[in-house]
Amino acid sequence: MATLPYFHQKKTMCMTEFVRSVLLIGVARIGDTLLLTPAMRAIKTHFPGAELTVLAHPKRKEILEGLPFIDKLQTITKKSAYLKGWWCRCQYDLAFVYGKDAELIRYALRVSKVVYVFKEEMGSLTPNKRLRVLSQPQNIHAVSERLALLTEAGINTENHQLAYQITPDEKAWANNWRKSRTNPLIALQIRSFPTKPYRDWPVSHTVRLIELIIENYPTATFVITGDHFAKQDASMLARVFGNRIVNIAGTLSLRQTAAILATVSLYVGVDTGPTHLAGALGIKMVSLYHAAHAGRNLAPLQHPCCKIIEHPETYGSASKNAEMSCISPEQVWEAARELLLLNQY
């Protein structure tokens, strides 16, 4: 059975015990949930004989379904955490909590012997002897930031790839969908989410990018991904390019979208959930990042075919006021061209 050294905040060894069960709580958006998958894999690799239970938000649970390193996948919310764990004390030897809500940590403390958490996520929670508290690292990649909590517990990994698992049925369904689409099939995600609209890429730039691609690949087809907010963009693009545009924005489940993304020739997207999903799938991709959210901290790591386009102000006076229009269609096309040349049509 694997053993784990526990550390005080000063990193001095205080105890060693057998680890048979580990809990990871991750209540986050799509992208942030995927960014936790290297940590989940690292835990299972470090403790292959232990049972790993992951608690995710009910709307994000499907992202983690089928991953081989998760033994039990269940749900939790900030509200439901208060009602859980009162009759199941010390159910886990070890817990890691990712989520900015003290109630999640309180639940973990009820059911776990030792709980690791970032100081910045404790809220008003009072420290106690079973909490291992780490200051959240700054200005490093998001995956490395999450892995830092594991490092505090003596768990290390060199595998920083995101993970996602498509089922055989989903693959068969997507391949059937793909048959009627001409090559190259290019997925476009030009909208982020409503709370961060400054990360959206202009529709006019998308029009020009499509024109550049068609000039070089006359049979190209484009699938527009995203939520229902992207439907309007898809409709506008369809008016310009006709049946070359296939709209799946807001029409499919997340898992159906992922299955389709796995079949495309190329993905081009701004920093949002589907871009992290494309990174987890390992497909050819061009990702565009806003000045306030650098690609060096968010782009998929150890990805063989990813071109990162940083905003020109990223290393200067980065702010939310920076315009994504500063990333030109020509710049994106050049990156896309290099990846499309890897395909055989």
Percentages helix, strand, coil for the chain (3-state, rounded to 5) are: 35, 20, 40
Tokens of 23: 């809990």
Which sign, positive or negative, has the C-alpha torsion 17, 21, 25, 31? Answer: positive
- Whether 47 has a pLDDT exceeding 80, the answer reads yes
DSSP annotation of 238: H
Cβ pair 286, 332 in contact under 8 A: yes
CA distance 91 to 84: 12
What predicted TM-score, i.e. pTM, was given to this entire model?
0.92
Q: What is the pLDDT of residues 113-126, one digit of tens each?
A: 999 999 988 877 88
Domain boundaries, the chain: 3-151, 176-340
CA distance 93 to 309: 43
> What percent of the chain clears pLDDT 90, i.e. is strictly above it?
80
- Whether 69 has a pLDDT exceeding 90, the answer reads yes
Q: What are the φ/ψ torsions at residue 243 (nearest 5 degrees)? A: -80, 5
Inter-CA distances, 27 with 100, 121, 276, Å = 8, 12, 16
Cβ pair 51, 122 in contact under 8 A: no
Q: With b meaning 16 or more CB within 10 Å and e meaning fewer, what string describes 201-237?
A: beeebbeebbebbeeebeebbbbbbbbeebbebbeeb
| Lookup result for tokens 């315009």 | 323
Which sign, positive or negative, has the C-alpha torsion 45, 142, 139, 303? Answer: positive
CA distance 132 to 114: 7
CA distance 222 to 233: 13
pLDDT at site 136: 93
Q: Coil, strand, or helix at residue 1? A: coil
CA distance 100 to 118: 9
Cβ pair 335, 307 in contact under 8 A: yes
Inter-CA distances, 168 with 43, 64, 171, 175, Å = 26, 16, 5, 11
CA distance 289 to 335: 14
Whether 3-151 and 176-340 share one fold: the answer is yes
Instruction: Give Cβ neighbours of residue 327 (< 8 Å, ≥ 6 apart).
Output: 201, 205, 288, 309, 311, 312
Tokens of 207: 């029009």
Specify which of 1-5, 170-174, 340-344 reaches the highest per-range mean pLDDT: 170-174
Cβ pair 3, 19 in contact under 8 A: yes
pLDDT at site 8: 38
| Lookup result for tokens 């061209």 | 337
pLDDT at site 319: 74
CATH of domain 176-340: 3.40.50.2000
Q: What is the pLDDT of residues 178-206, one digit of tens each?
A: 999 999 999 999 999 888 999 999 999 99
Q: What is the pLDDT of residues 6-16, one digit of tens each?
A: 433 333 333 33
Return the bridge partners of 4, or none: 17
| Lookup result for tokens 């004989």 | 49
Question: What CA dihedral angle connects 62, 68, 69 and 70, to 10 degrees?
Answer: 40
First-to-last alpha carbon distance for the chain, in angstroms, is 52
Mean pLDDT computed over 28-39? 96
Write down the mean pLDDT value for the chain.
91
DSSP string, 277-311: HHHHHT--EEEEE-TTS-HHHHSPTT-TTEEEEE-
Return the bridge partners of 269, or none: 189, 287
Q: What is the CATH superfamily name and number for domain 3-151? A: Glycogen Phosphorylase B; (3.40.50.2000)
- Whether 90 has a pLDDT exceeding 80, the answer reads no
